[in-house]
Amino acid sequence: MTATFGDRLRSTFSEVGRLCVGIDPHRYLLERWGLPDDASGLREFGLRIVDATHGTAGIVKPQVAFFERHGSAGFAALERVMQEARAAELSIIADVKRGDVGTSVEAYGEAWLTPGSPLEADCMTISAFQGVGSIEAPIRLALANGKGLFVLGATSNPEAAAVQRAVMTTGKWAGRSVAAGIVDEVMTWNAQAEHLGSIGVVLGATIDLEEFGISTDDLVGTPILAPGFGHQGAAISELSRVYGRAAEGTIVSASRSILAAGPDGMRDAIRSHVDDIERAHRS
C-alpha cells in the first residue's frame, strides 16, 4: 500500500526536520551566482540547490513561474531538477498555485500529481478561491496517488487581506472569513488521517491568523506550508507563537534567506535554518 503524503511528511520531520528550501531562480540571484538567465542557468541553479539540500534537509519547493518564463526549455530544465530531487529522495512541493474548475483543474492535478509524469511532484500548491468544491478532482487524485495539496488559505502578501478576511453573510461560511471558510473545508479531508493528513493549507508566517478568524488549535493534524520566514520578515524563533499546537505539522519555507549565501555557502545556510527551526520547535 502506498504511504500517504502526510505519513511521509511526518517521517521527513522526524528524520531531517521541517525546512523546505525554495528553488527560486530570480534573475538577480542567477547573476549573483554567475549563471545566465536562460534554461541552462536555471538547470544549474536548481541542481546546485538539490545537491546542497540532499542530506541536510528533506524538502524542496521549485517556484514554477521562474522556469515557465523560459517556455519549453524552462520546463525541460525544471523536469531535470525534479528528476534529480526525486533521485536524492527529497520531497518536492511544486509551487504552481493552479486553480480552475472541472476537467481543467483535474488536468492540472494530472500534470503534477500523476506517478510517472514528467512533472511528478509529491504535492502542489493550489487555489480554491472558486470554491473548495472546485478542486475536488485534484484532491481525490492526490489521495489516490499518495500525493498531497497545499491550498491557499491566508497568504502573507498584504494586498490579499481585504479578500481573505472578508466575512461571508450567506451560505455555509456565513459569519466566517473567506480564509477561515477555506481552511475549515480543507480540514474535513483530513478527518480520517491517523496522524497528519495529506491535504494542507498555506498560511503565511507574517500575518496574525486570529485576524483572519483562524484558530491554530483547530489545525492540528492538517499540514501547513508556511512562507514568509527569512527574507519576508518572519523570524523562525516565532514558529510556535505563530502556529501554536499546529507548529507540529508546519513546514517552514525559506528561499532567498538561504540562496543569498550563494552556491558555496548554501549548505551551511541550510544547516543553520534547520537548527533554528529545531530550537524554535522545542521552545
Enzyme catalytic residues: 97
Cell, residue 117? 509524469
Burial 259-275, CB ≥16 within 10 A → b, else e: bebebeebbebbeebbe
Query: 122: helix, coil or strand?
Result: coil
Q: State the angle between helix axes of 39-53 and 262-282 in degrees (0 to 180), rounded to the nearest 10.
A: 40
CA 88 vs. chain centroid, Å, equals 19
Q: State the angle between helix axes of 136-144 and 102-113 in degrees (0 to 180), rounded to the nearest 10.
A: 30
Based on its alpha-carbon atoms, the radius of gyration of the chain, rounded to whole angstroms, reads 18
With contact defined as beta carbons under 8 Å apart, do 175 and 189 qualify? no
With contact defined as beta carbons under 8 Å apart, do 227 and 202 qualify? yes
